[in-house]
Amino acid sequence: MDLILKNVKKKDFPVLKSLAKSLGFDIEEKIDKPYNPEFVKEILEAEQSIRDGKGIKMTMEELDDLWK
């Protein structure tokens, strides 16, 4: 049987870990990464290029034309 604990505080994890160990349970810690690393890299590069002045400015009319 598997038991999944979510939103465990860092201060509580050692207590739960030692309790599980004393009872003979196996502990598997998974930390989910919410974003694809390639996606994060693209976003960070785009932000840097804007800071470097490589972006373009558009008027509201030009933006509206993009949607049509």
Measure Cα distances from 59 to 6, 31, 65 in Å: 46, 43, 10
Mean pLDDT to the nearest integer, 4-30: 87
Query: For residues 4 and 44, which has the higher predicted lDDT (pLDDT)?
Result: 44
Query: For residues 1 and 37, which has the higher predicted lDDT (pLDDT)?
Result: 37
Sketch the domain layout of the chain as residue ranges: 31-68
Q: Whole-model pTM?
A: 0.41
Mean pLDDT to the nearest integer, 4-8: 83
**24-52 pLDDT, tens digit each:** 988 887 777 788 889 999 999 999 999 99
- Mind spelling out the 3-state secondary structure of 42-66? HHHHHHHHHHCCCCCCCCHHHHHHH
